[in-house]
Structure 1
Amino acid sequence: MRADRLVAALLYLQTRDLVTAAQLAAELEVSERTARRDLEALAAAGVPVYSTAGKGGGWRLVGGARTDLSGLTAPEIRELFLLTGPESATSPRTRAALRKLVRALPAPLRPGAEAAARAGVTDTTDWTGAGAEPALLGTLRQAVVDAVRLRIAHARPGRPPRERLVHPLGIAAKAGVPYLVADTPDGLRTFRVSRITSATPTGEPAVRPPDFDLATAWRALAARMEDRMLAATVRGRAAPGTEGVLEGLFGGRIRYGAREADGGWTAIEVDGPSPEIVAAQLAGLGARVELLAPPEARAALARIGAELTARYGPATPAAAPGAPGPAGTPPA
């Protein structure tokens, strides 16, 4: 398309003090006559470009003028600033980058970009305290940028840390939780950053697989994790008023069925890694949830109930003399 070619011609002019029609023709892979017509079209459109004839002549931008040719449309610019958020919610480095970007935009687009930056805020603080940025995240990011092999210690829940040599390839975030994507002797793996207890650069170069693309690799790795998260389905019924708690626990992994006419209980289906894990997550709702299938989920919930009764129920053995009694009873 000629419009694309004109943009390419102007970009080429911006990188050269002087350009001949022959040079532009070679760059755009068109005839010299077509290149000359394109240069004349730019001048006719008001772009500050002029030509000088004779030996040593050619085309140049007046005074080294520069025209914004980022290719960003007004809606794309607004979306970018909406995603970044207001200056008060960004780091000093991001604020500096935003100011440079605003200055680089054509004047008519600047008010819209600035308004978009003020239109929303993203607060990543988790009031439970679990959302703080992991201490080693900066180290891991730097290793990815520097392409340096790492020795990391990673601890799975309930297990001691295990040391591994990895090739860091990128950082991906799932629902705000950062993961290190790395190549290992066992293939591509993800490591939840908050579970990495140490990370030491080895000084050796990291090896990047040929044609590696982080977004493509993450989609494949995430799909495997999601398959594990959805390996089992538990069916049951829930009392009225439990919807908010259930959705907080399971998000999109819970589905509602028909509501019973008497009492208003609702049929539910919940996906999870295993029936036992889903049962443990539902145990806090007590009698407000009844599990119907599979049998493993019912058995797990019964076992949890028995353990709680043994610890806190009326059959608790009497306390030793001088020890606190159950539920606020003063010592004997």
Structure 2
Amino acid sequence: MKFDRLLSIVLLLQHRALVPAKELAERLEVSQRTIYRDVEALSAAGIPVYAERGKDGGIGLVNGFRTDVTGLTTDEARALFVLASQSAHSALGLDHALGSALRKVMAALPAPHRPAAELTSRRILVEPDRWHSAPRPETDLEALYAAALTDRRLRVRYRHSGRTTLRTYTLDPYGLVSKAGTWYLVADHKRTPRLFRTDRLSQVSVLEAEARRRPGMELPQVWQDLRREVEDREEGVRITVRIHRERLDMVTRIAGYYFTGPPVPEPGTDEWLRVEFAYPVAKAVRHLLQFGADIQVLDPPEAHAEMARAIAELAELYGAP
């Protein structure tokens, strides 16, 4: 919208003496001719904006024309600019809004705090996605977001972990949570709180019916209750293994979620460490096959036997040497 663009121009000019028209055009994704027309519109509206021609020229505001926000400390200003990567904002269709909001905040900051905030935005980046994250199916996060904001029910098709078939649910959404780069929909199903990974959702439909959330319940409380359920689940089978010291970092990165405590030195050797895993079932110990001979399962006997069966199956499939 033109109004938003005019406001963005004013805010960009407030913390620069002169800004080239080409730079304004690139940042606002319009032509330089449009920028000059916008400058004329601002001048006609009484904004003290001017243009200087020439190699070192540009567009500027008369000194002293600016807004101010009082009460912010330097650390508070820095905190505003330590933001997650644009992946989360893009997923919700808010990437352009993020850029606009930061320009407005920067222009409104007290002059002494602007350098610290701008430097922080260039020196600190929070990236929520893990290395080598697998591609995830496209999910209509904007529809989920819209349903949560407008208090509408949702009808979705969902694939549960380990299943190939889809189930249909009618949900009353509380909102969305992004955890370690994974988006979750928090919603009630038949008045019971449920957690749905958005990358397993398909055929998302926003219904006309109003969401029927439980009275007094809000997203932070429901999320905390659901998260506690996940974290407090029974550990299942405890498995003792030894790990080659040189592979500890890799194992921790990939399978550290299942550790029940820190690795400890293996008695009598400097090459091996001992650690205890907790898997939901003994068969899940096959997860450790990816580390080859750098991991050895010690206890319990059923986990050791499960690894032996898996190795025998692989040898039969590929042919023993």
TM-score, length basis structure 2: 0.69
Instruction: State the match for 1:257 in structure 2.
Output: 264
Instruction: State the match for 2:316 in structure 1.
Output: 310
Instruction: State the match for 1:329 in structure 2.
Output: none
Matched, 1:204 2:205: no
Instruction: State the match for 1:140 in structure 2.
Output: 144
Selected match of 2:98 from 53, 75, 94: 94
CA distance in 1, matches of 2:166, 2:158: 5
What value does the CA root-mean-square deviation take over the aligned residues?
2.7
Matched, 1:269 2:276: yes
CA distance in 1, matches of 2:296, 2:191: 42
Asked if 1 retains the 8 angstrom alpha-carbon contact of 2:171 and 2:187, the reply is yes
Deviations 1:42-66 (A, max 9, x none): xxxxxxxxxxxxxxxxxxxxxxx98
Which structure: larger Rg?
Answer: 1
Superposition map of 1:210-225 within 5 A: 210-225=215-230
User: Could you say if the C-alpha distance between residues 241 and 183 of structure 1 is closer, same or farther in structure 2, counting changes exceeding 3 Å?
Assistant: same
DSSP-derived class of the 1:130 partner: coil
Aligned partner of 1:220: which letter? D
Aligned partner of 1:150: which letter? L
User: Could you say if the C-alpha distance between residues 197 and 123 of structure 1 is closer, same or farther in structure 2, counting changes exceeding 3 Å?
Assistant: same
Selected match of 2:114 from 91, 110, 116: 110
Asked if 2 retains the 8 angstrom alpha-carbon contact of 1:280 and 1:304, the reply is yes
Matched, 1:170 2:175: yes
DSSP-derived class of the 1:207 partner: coil
DSSP-derived class of the 2:320 partner: coil
CA distance in 2, matches of 1:109, 1:280: 54
Superposition map of 1:18-97 within 5 A: 68-69=69-70, 72-84=72-84, 91-97=95-101
CA distance in 2, matches of 1:186, 1:282: 39
User: Could you say if the C-alpha distance between residues 198 and 85 of structure 1 is closer, same or farther in structure 2, counting changes exceeding 3 Å?
Assistant: closer
CA distance in 1, matches of 2:320, 2:69: 77
User: Could you say if the C-alpha distance between residues 311 and 85 of structure 1 is closer, same or farther in structure 2, counting changes exceeding 3 Å?
Assistant: closer
User: Could you say if the C-alpha distance between residues 252 and 202 of structure 1 is closer, same or farther in structure 2, counting changes exceeding 3 Å?
Assistant: closer
Instruction: State the match for 1:52 in structure 2.
Output: none
Asked if 2 retains the 8 angstrom alpha-carbon contact of 1:154 and 1:196, the reply is yes
CA distance in 1, matches of 2:85, 2:313: 48
Aligned partner of 1:196: which letter? L
User: Could you say if the C-alpha distance between residues 179 and 205 of structure 1 is closer, same or farther in structure 2, counting changes exceeding 3 Å?
Assistant: same
Asked if 2 retains the 8 angstrom alpha-carbon contact of 1:228 and 1:273, the reply is no
DSSP-derived class of the 1:228 partner: coil
CA distance in 2, matches of 1:233, 1:159: 29
Deviation at 1:127, TM superposition (A): 6.1
Deviation at 1:186, TM superposition (A): 5.8
- Where do 5+ consecutive residues of structure 2 fail to align? 1-65
Deviation at 1:150, TM superposition (A): 0.5
CA distance in 2, matches of 1:95, 1:222: 32
Selected match of 1:154 from 155, 158, 161: 158
Deviating more after overlay: 176-185 vs 294-303: 294-303
Matched, 1:280 2:286: yes
CA distance in 2, matches of 1:304, 1:243: 23
Selected match of 1:130 from 134, 143, 147: 134
Aligned partner of 1:80: which letter? L
Aligned partner of 1:308: which letter? L
DSSP-derived class of the 2:263 partner: strand
Deviations 1:157-187 (A, max 9, x none): 3330100000111101221100000011161
Deviation at 1:257, TM superposition (A): 1.6
User: Could you say if the C-alpha distance between residues 263 and 308 of structure 1 is closer, same or farther in structure 2, counting changes exceeding 3 Å?
Assistant: farther
CA distance in 1, matches of 2:320, 2:149: 60
CA distance in 2, matches of 1:148, 1:83: 29
Aligned partner of 2:295: which letter? V
Aligned partner of 1:312: which letter? Y
Deviating more after overlay: 138-147 vs 103-112: 103-112
CA distance in 2, matches of 1:194, 1:252: 21
Deviation at 1:75, TM superposition (A): 1.0
CA distance in 1, matches of 2:180, 2:210: 31
Aligned partner of 1:213: which letter? E
- Where do 5+ consecutive residues of structure 1 fail to align? 1-64, 316-332
DSSP-derived class of the 2:81 partner: helix
CA distance in 2, matches of 1:149, 1:85: 30
Percent identity between the two aligned chains: 30
Matched, 1:227 2:228: no
User: Could you say if the C-alpha distance between residues 263 and 117 of structure 1 is closer, same or farther in structure 2, counting changes exceeding 3 Å?
Assistant: closer
